[in-house]
A and B are shown apart, each in its own frame.
Chain A
């Protein structure tokens, strides 16, 4: 994260993103999602501060050093979150797709070593071990969205999420 933020600042992209966030839609993915928060303990650096919260090391809070693989995401507050409009909450095409579809299981691909503990803006969570809930997706309730998982690597369910984000 430290290297990433340094590059954003060196190229003034951090300011461009903040200006764009005043009127445009943003979807941050994985490191991009983490960069939306205030501070990251990976590289000990200030981030974009578009969402409130800090990025912390998985190994400090779980029995994992990394979280790699497919996880089912769980709604936290579906009645009030705007993210509900883009995250497919249940299978949309289950009758027409193969039985091995990730969409049938609401599974997304995660690969990360740092995470965002559950905060007010968290809209969806995952449970990487038996004790811990971590933020899978967040939104400011308006135009800023972020996913810890990779929709672009999550097959049809990921493509649906991206389509619904672009159409929103």
Chain B
């Protein structure tokens, strides 16, 4: 089943983006790198894991957000992701992302050369308490990611139950200042409730398991200087489909923040078995603009 046209939240985000383009008072009151990168599903975070920080550089008195584009290539598959996020008063973040997963090798094996599975993700993240830098406790946030798989034929044929699903997550992030040999250290841990198969690319729920599961995700990063962070991430995943195993994801990345407009991220990710093809290791590059 294909859905045509964008829903209303998309147009709201586009309007906000355009509005910000004319706004010379670019939100930039927070310190460099504290908005993180844009993770695959569009929320502020690392590459794979959403952090408790909100997109952009706006303080409690400012509005602002990000736009991003990400490309992942494993040799067998590739994934394009792009989207935008907008944060109000460093309190609530709205995000939108499109994932386009090219079936590649698997597609050719199935006689579906050039097949692509698309997914839209609508996200909201709410900062409950704390500040990444300035509070004793970590910054705490809860989030929702509502996902709509737009090309459900393949997921359906391999046992996925639904073409839409909603993830819920709770995360805590803390920048430990001068925490490790005089370098600032980012710590993040979160838990996610999800039924998504390969983050939703392969649909939601399945013949092996159809219930929500609690999944761990976390990141550790070190700021080598004000502009450069190296980090590693881990994201646990469910295993709902009997046709393939699904592995947890891990990556290591370098993020470069030359200024409060731009962030560039390069990662190497271990995605394990993805849709029956084992040993998927992928390069990941991402660019984020803040406004």
A-B complex is real: no
B interface list, Cβ under 8 A from A: none
A interface list, Cβ under 8 A from B: none
